Amino acid sequence: MQSTDHLRATFTINNNSYTYFDLNKLGNERLSQLPKSLKILLENQLRHFDGKSVNADIIVAFSRWLDNPSGGEDLNFMPARVLMQDFTGVPAIVDLAAMRDAVAKRGGDVTTINPQIPVHLVIDHSVTVDQFGSPQAFGENVANEMTRNDERYRFLKWGQSAFANFNVVPPGTGICHQVNLEYLAKVVWTDGDTAYPDTVLGTDSHTPMVNGLGVLGWGVGGIEAEAALLGQPYSMMLPEVIGFELSGKLNDGVTATDLVLTVVQILRQEGVVGKFVEFYGDGLAELSVADRATIANMAPEYGATCGYFPVDEATLAYMKLTGRHHDNIALTEAYCKAQGLWRHAGDSPIFTRTVNLALETVEPSLAGPSRPQDRVALNDLGAAMTDYLKANNRDLNEVATIPDMEEELHHGDVVIAAITSCTNTSNPDVMIAAGLVARKARERGLRIKPWIKTSLAPGSKVVSKYLSDSGLQDDLNALGFDLVGYGCTTCIGNSGPLPDPVASAIDSKDLVVSALLSGNRNFEGRIHPQVKASWLASPPLVVMYALAGSTLVNLQDDPVGNDNQGNPVYLKDLWPSNEEIHDIRKIVSGSMFRDAYNDVYQGTEEWQTIKVENTETYQWQADSGYIRQPSFFDSTTVAGEEFPNLHGARILGVFGDTITTDHISPAGKIALDSPASHYLQSLGVKPEDFNSYGSRRGNHEVMLRGTFANTRLRNKLVDREGGYTLGPDGKSVISIYQAAMQYRETNTPLVVIAGKQYGTGSSRDWAAKGTLLLGVKAVIAQSFERIHRSNLIGMGILPIESDKEISQEMLELRGDEQVDIMACDTQLSPKQKVRIVLSRNDGSRHEVLGRLRIDTHEEMAYFRHGGILQYVLAELAAK
């Protein structure tokens, strides 16, 4: 096949004619049985067919998939657009600015470094909950945000003026995923008269939230997103697709949050890392797009690449509700029905395998204390928390007096209650439910426990509008859930400091206290460094536990508190019915969304007053604590054909299972006694102005020192929690950063050894960048999460899966071993076998086999050039 032009077809909507690449014209009726997510990938291949990057072989592979739905063939995907948030977006734009400098040094045209597809960056991760529980909280937090991040925001405004196809949504607008769902996503796009599905790659791992609207997209590392926006295809493998059948209907009082925590648990047990999940079944008719988006949002938590919901009547209803143009709505319906992307009752595509869930079996749930997949039924939380305390050898009767308060703090007490994050604040039902719980509690005279830090951080201004218009915001304010900002706060670790008396009480008895949040992540050390147990819950349950004050209670049986008459009040007295929720939801209208997004790029007065120079290259500041020119492009790597054997490497760390990107590259607080802290203080930065690791991702010096610096990290080579390891002498215990710098002085390569699910969590490219800058050449793990594995390749680091467990216990690793990694075949190729040899000082050796997890030929090309961006530069230089 030389071309795919003969596959074009035409349809007309409102007197406008559109062409599209018609899958039916491929002449294979069985393709109608493909999962709808794969149909979108197939259309993408037809539209970008060039005989090279996309050729007839991959199109044939889709037909073969129906006979053996296991995937595996290389596929080069070209998204319609890229979505970024500021934590991951700032380093991406820093890289683009540095690439322009590299092109300028070679005498090239710097404007060749320019987005080739639309890019939207939403500033949503930088607001911190410094102030709370007052009407002034929002204004003060926003003012602090603008002051702390002035340099970062100037840089982003420069990027908006310097790069074409690059738009910045200013701070205070909402969370990128909710802005995407409510405004940016079109479901069907057009280029001239060609109609095609909306697809997106995002630098935040929760990009799949938009799958709930029928838009195919997923999270990637910033490195991969940079390559995609520069016109490079996203290299992937034709995936397995797990069909998740939903049937029945949720019971009254059960929320979409309860449903998604159940789905996360099921799919983690099923094992869907690197796979697509597509939801089907008649139960979808009972779920709104907001419910579907809640489930799709947590695809990273259940490990899938995406969690796709097909387009149907609910999609059109949501588009109308959110004020989409009627032409776009009509186009979406006509195209999806013509292309076979429309969901019909009884649809049952061919899947790799299927799982099932009857919605009526879902029960009220939470998840924790440190992993989203660890679901706990509501009536079991007290017992689960008790077991957790006993496992950590805590005395359940331990009590600390809170200074300046006539209150006592116990193990299990709630100190943070946050309605936060994109997971739930996009869903009016659960937000209204939280407001109704607050209203009923207020009417009964109940109050939040005085030691709890409460916050409400919606993902969109629309949430504030319907809460205000319904009067529910007044009820939430009465309990301390005042608006603190529009953005990802507690869920990303921007929970801010606890009140000093509460913090002192926790430290005085080393209490294990709890956070309740309506977010999607609760990894160790993420929410707050003093909070060891974090529980994910629906917004109304967050309010309930803030009233109860402890996670040791059983809310199904125990009273939440006593009313103003001294009578016990139970959950059933405060929990709203579906009818009560639906009565208030009627006020949510399209005008609310149109008003909220009418001037989406304008920003506040403070944003508008930021002035920048209109230059094609960035003027770096040598003393900057936020934006520094990275060193990744200082040298050019000559692409090699042979496997880069590693000899005499030392082990930087040995870690267990489920090491997250939070463990590798923290996003939250910068500890006072840490290498990053010492560096910032050397620049004259005061500790109160440290901000967070996430906010300083544009400075490689901070991020290098913050790699493997999580306060809850456990390196099995040392008996100490935190970012520590053995020094080169094999005896001294020093920071991982210090050890890496000492190894650098002798040009000693390093390796990291870990267990299963290495790199779980956020699409955090600094987890790979920092690893590279520490001198790590290879990561040996039992299994990798998808995004981090790709990021390691994108930075030129070898990801190797061991055939057998390589653990500290099994091998009695002491930290003085030398590691050799050699290919069984010298020719560098995807998935090749490698030999891993560990040699000890006593002369003993241990050898195991491993497999290189560079999976595709495109990934191999990136690695051979030293990384994906170096590959792009080489391609541009060749042209």
**Tens-place pLDDT, residues 90-106:** 999 999 999 999 899 88
**Is there a contact between 215 and 319 (Cβ–Cβ < 8 Å)?**
no
Q: Residue 856 pLDDT more than 70? A: yes
Q: In Å, what is the CA distance from 628 to each residue of 127, 151, 172, 699?
A: 22, 11, 26, 5
Q: Which of 361, 379, 412 is the last residue of a domain?
A: 361
**Mean pLDDT, to the nearest integer, of 732-736?**
96
What is the distance between the alpha carbons of residues 427 and 178, in angstroms, rounded to a whole number? 10
pLDDT of residue 293: 98
Whole-number Cα distances in Å, 351 to 34, 67, 210, 246, 336:
8, 10, 22, 15, 20
CATH of the domain at 864: 3.20.19.10
Structural tokens at position 136: 């002034």
Strand positions, DSSP E, 160-230: 166-169, 188-191, 194-197, 199-202, 216-219
Domain coverage including residue 486:
367-588
- Could you count the other beta carbons within 10 Å of the beta carbon of residue 816? 16
766-773 mean pLDDT: 94
Mean pLDDT of 61-75: 91
pLDDT higher than threshold 90 for residue 502: yes
- Alpha-carbon distances, residue 306 vs 202, 235, 486, 691, 840 (angstroms): 12, 16, 25, 32, 43
Are both 341 and 403 inside the same structural domain? Answer: no
Q: Which two structure tokens, joined as six digits, stand for 78?
A: 């070209």
State yes or no: pLDDT of 219 exceeds 80.
yes
Asked, for residue 698, whether it belongs to a domain, the answer is yes
Q: Do residue 381 and residue 332 come from a single domain?
A: no
On the question of pLDDT at 283 being above 90, the answer is: yes
Q: What are phi and psi of 130, to 5 degrees?
A: -75, -45
Strand 119-122 relative to strand 81-85, pairing: parallel
What is the rounded CA–CA span in Å between residue 693 and residue 487? Answer: 17
Spatial contact of 228 and 82, defined as CB atoms under 8 Å apart: yes
What are the residue ranges of helices labelled H in 611-697?
A: 661-664, 675-682
543 contacts 418 by C-beta, under 8 angstroms: no
Query: Coil, strand, or helix at residue 98?
Result: helix
Question: Based on the domain organization, do 401 and 497 belong to the same domain?
Answer: yes
Nearest in space to 418 (alpha carbons), one of 364, 492, 503: 492
Tokens for 454?
A: 């409460």
Measure the CA–CA gap between 641 and 864, rounded to whole angstroms. Answer: 7
Cβ contacts of residue 377 below 8 Å, gap of 6+?
363, 364, 365
Helix (H) or strand (E) holding 851: strand 845-852
pLDDT at 537: 98
Q: Report the pLDDT value the prediction gives residue 868, as an integer from 0 to 100.
A: 87
Q: Could you tell me if residue 340 is inside a domain? A: yes
Percent of the chain as helix, strand, coil, to the nearest 5? 40, 20, 40
For residue 602, how many other CB atoms are within 10 A of its CB? Answer: 12
Residue 505 placed within a domain: yes
pLDDT of residue 761: 79
In this prediction, residue 432 carries a pLDDT of: 98
Contact 40, 305 (CB under 8 A): no
Q: In degrees rounded to 5, what are phi and psi of residue 528?
A: -165, 140
Residue 121 lies in a domain: no
Pair of tokens at residue 671: 């500890």
259-268, 696-705, 751-760, 804-813: least confident range: 804-813
Total domains present in the chain = 3
Position 366 scores a pLDDT of 98
Cα–Cα distance measured from residue 348 to residue 36, given in angstroms and rounded to the nearest whole number: 10
Flag whether pLDDT at 696 surpasses 60.
yes
Report the distance separating Cα 834 and Cα 848, nearest Å: 9
DSSP state of 7: G
Euclidean distance between CA atoms 265 and 246, whole angstroms: 15
Give me the mean pLDDT over the 270-288 stretch: 96
pLDDT band at residue 639 under the 50/70/90 scheme: low
- The pLDDT, as a whole number, for residue 446 is 97
* Closest by Cα among 422, 383, 275, 248 to 262: 248
Query: Are the beta carbons of 459 and 492 closer than 8 angstroms?
Result: no
Query: Would you say residue 474 lies in a domain?
Result: yes
Q: Residue 811: pLDDT above 80?
A: no
Is the pLDDT at 635 greater than 70? The verdict is: no
Q: What is the pLDDT of residue 693?
A: 87
Strand partners, 356: 245
Burial of 203-220, coded b for 16+ CB within 10 Å and e otherwise, reads bbbbbbbbbbbbbbbbbb
pLDDT in tens, 109-160: 999 999 999 999 999 988 999 999 999 999 999 999 999 899 999 999 999 9
Question: Among residues 722, 703, 710, which one has the least CA distance to residue 771?
Answer: 703
* pLDDT exceeds 70 at position 772: yes
Q: Which helix (H) or strand (E) holds 628?
A: none
Is 52 a residue whose pLDDT tops 90? no
Pairing assessment for the beta strands 81-85 and 276-280 based on DSSP bridges: unpaired
How far is residue 794 CA from its own chain's centroid?
18
pLDDT-derived band at 876 (thresholds 50, 70, 90) equals confident
36 has a pLDDT exceeding 90 = yes
510 conformational bin, left if phi > 0, alpha if psi -120 to 50, beta if neither: left
In this structure, are 337 and 397 located in the same domain? no
CATH code, domain with 209: 3.30.499.10
Is the domain of 267 the same as that of 321? yes
| Nearest-angstrom CA–CA distance, 173 and 186 | 19
Report the C-alpha gap between 655 and 806 in whole angstroms. Answer: 10
229 and 325 share one domain:
yes
Strand partners, 9: 20
pLDDT digits (tens, 9 = 90+) for 409-436: 999 999 999 999 888 999 999 999 999 9
Q: What is the pLDDT of residue 55?
A: 87
Does residue 763 surpass a pLDDT of 80?
Answer: no
Give me the pLDDT at residue 807, please: 62
Q: Where are the beta strands (DSSP E) in 644-740?
A: 646-654, 724-726, 733-735
**So what's the pLDDT on residue 202?**
95
Residue 240 to residue 53: CA distance in whole angstroms? 21
Whether residue 42 is contained in a domain is answered as no
Q: What is the pLDDT of residue 71?
A: 80
> What pLDDT does 636 receive?
61
Together in a domain, 337 and 424:
no
Same domain assignment for residues 348 and 481:
no
Is position 18 within any domain?
Answer: no
What is residue 230's DSSP assignment?
Answer: T
Cα distances (angstroms) measured from residue 53 to each of 259, 364, 733, 794? 40, 48, 50, 19
Residue 452, token pair as written in the block: 């709890």
672 belongs to a structural domain: yes
The pLDDT-based confidence of 676 (bands split at 50, 70, 90) is very high
Q: Which residue has tokens 């990107």? A: 661
The model carries a pTM of 0.89
Q: Among 361, 377, 394, identify where a domain stops.
A: 361
Task: Provide CB contacts within 8 A for 4, sequence distance 6+.
Answer: 21, 46, 47, 49
pLDDT attached to residue 808: 55
Measured between alpha carbons, how far is 543 from 683 in angstroms, rounded to an integer?
42
**Shared domain check, 490 and 437:** yes
List alpha helices for 716-764, DSSP H. 736-745
Residues in the chain: 879
Round the average pLDDT of the chain to a whole number and report it.
93
Phi, psi (degrees; rounded to nearest 5) at 199: -135, 150
Cis peptide before 369 (omega within 30 of 0): yes
Cα gap 393→400, rounded to integer Å:
17
Kindly state the average pLDDT of the residues 717-740.
Answer: 94
> From the CB of residue 338, how many other CB atoms can be counted at a distance below 10 Å?
18
- Mean of the pLDDT values across residues 488-516? 94
Which residues are CB-neighbours of 842 under 8 A, at least 6 positions away? none
Q: Locate tokens 């500033």: which residue?
A: 123
Quickly count: other Cβ atoms within 10 Å of residue 787's Cβ.
28
Average confidence (pLDDT) over 615-639: 83
Q: Which of 550, 565, 588 is the last residue of a domain?
A: 588
In a shared domain, residues 335 and 423:
no
For residue 825, which phi and psi values (nearest 5 degrees)?
-125, 125
Residues 780, 680 share a domain: yes
Query: Could you tell me the CA-to-CA distances from 246 to 286, 317, 342, 427, 724 in Å, in that order?
Result: 10, 20, 17, 19, 46
Together in a domain, 400 and 446: yes
